[in-house]
Amino acid sequence: MKIHAVNAAAPPPLASPCTDKIYSRRSMRLRMISSLTLGLLLALADVSHGEQPARLVKLSRNETTQAFDFETPVMSGSIRAEGNYHGVSRLVDKKSGRSLLDARYSALNLFRLFSVNLGMGTPRTMKSTVRATDTAVEITWPATPEHQGVITARYEVREPDTIDLHLTLRCKGTYAGYELLLPNYFESSMVPHVYLLRRAIGDKAPAADLVVPGFSEVYRGCSLVFPRDAHAARRPLDGRWNRSEFGASVAPFFPLRHYAHPVVFMTDAEKTLAVVMMMKRESCSAISARYFTEKPQERASSYSAVDFLVFGDDLLPGDVRTADVRLVLTPLDAEMSQPLRLHEKFLSEPDSPKPKP
């Protein structure tokens, strides 16, 4: 925030040199007090401004692609509201001109729906309705006999570098360990990073490590899961990933270390640019990542990808759950300090309004 100096009007001349000195001292004190007060008020105004959400970006319907395009000084992209790969279907860093997503897929995409030893289909193939405004795209999937719940996904873009997704689930059934898989597919050279807890020893709080999940023959071809806690660690092994209903692939997802923060980010090879994705702990059951390797023969997929597993709760009819997911495009310093600072800012913002049951 720029602070402009304010020049006070010159005092009128006084008859006595003595009174002139007294006036000068008083004037100096008043000016000093006024300057300090003004600086404090401006500083407080700047802090208050920083806590407010950034301005929403206008979305323009592209009649050729049927997507909703957006553009800021930092990035451009598209949000697709229909089809298998709804979500953020294009994301370009303007400084480098680089397209960051795998063009075949999307980010912030709603994929598989799970409960204990149960697959409930995917929003990719469910019927949906779309409601769009100048600054938001909202997709709603009604309840079905296979998935007894209504899901709403609302996408918004904020200046200059942020995409927000607000998820709402209105449950109509009884489910144990309900999860929604939210994948993000990136260009193959992008490198995943996660914050993982070490094993706790004694009464000391466990340390956290910033880790690039790399290749190992131990889990060749598998996806790695970093759960929130011991309860969430059981989810990948309770049968849900062995279900093949609705033509779903049986995928080997294996739990490893617990995540330290519900934050995952993808960097370019030079580690100068990152796409940071974040949630709040209570709504993020786990983070998943495809391990990274530069050798094509070792890769589990032709793209780089990270996922959030959302909710993870036991649910009853009438329960309502919400989750906020944020994506931010940011430059990186040598310490890669931006992701956690961005997450702290995200956590400090007011929660989204709770929907009515």
The three-class DSSP label of residue 108 is: coil
Are 48 and 177 within one domain?
no
Are 48 and 188 within one domain?
no
Domain membership of residue 157 (yes or no) is: no
Domain membership of residue 249 (yes or no) is: yes
Q: What is the pLDDT of residues 87-99, one digit of tens each?
A: 999 999 999 999 9
Q: Report the pLDDT value the prediction gives residue 10, as an integer from 0 to 100.
A: 37
pTM for this predicted structure:
0.84
User: Above pLDDT 70, what percent of the chain?
Assistant: 85
Domain membership of residue 224 (yes or no) is: yes
**Range 198-210 average pLDDT:** 90
- Taking 80 as the threshold, does the pLDDT of residue 38 lie above it? no
Domains in the chain: how many in total? 2
Are 22 and 113 within one domain?
no
Domain membership of residue 187 (yes or no) is: yes
Question: What count of other Cβ atoms lies within 10 Å of the Cβ of residue 1?
Answer: 9
314 vs 177: CA distance, rounded Å: 5
Are 124 and 21 within one domain?
no
Query: In which domain, by residue range, is 107 found?
Result: 100-133+173-348
- Taking 50 as the threshold, does the pLDDT of residue 19 lie above it? no
Q: Quickly state the pLDDT bin for 212 (edges 50, 70, 90).
A: very high
Q: Are 117 and 243 in contact (CB under 8 A)?
A: yes
Q: Quickly state the pLDDT bin for 51 (edges 50, 70, 90).
A: very low
User: Above pLDDT 90, what percent of the chain?
Assistant: 77
**Range 325-339 average pLDDT:** 97
Domain membership of residue 143 (yes or no) is: no
Domain membership of residue 86 (yes or no) is: no
Q: Report the pLDDT value the prediction gives residue 53, as an integer from 0 to 100.
A: 66
Q: Report the pLDDT value the prediction gives residue 245, as an integer from 0 to 100.
A: 84
**Range 319-335 average pLDDT:** 97
Q: Which of 156, 159, 205, 197 is nearest to 324 (CA)?
A: 156
Q: Report the pLDDT value the prediction gives residue 168, as an integer from 0 to 100.
A: 98
Domain membership of residue 255 (yes or no) is: yes
**Range 147-168 average pLDDT:** 98
Domain membership of residue 72 (yes or no) is: no
Q: Are 71 and 92 in contact (CB under 8 A)?
A: no
**Range 239-265 average pLDDT:** 91
**Range 38-52 average pLDDT:** 39
Are 318 and 206 within one domain?
yes
Are 244 and 322 within one domain?
yes
Q: Report the pLDDT value the prediction gives residue 49, as an integer from 0 to 100.
A: 34
Q: Is the peptide bond before 339 cis (omega within 30 degrees of 0)?
A: no
Are 263 and 128 within one domain?
yes
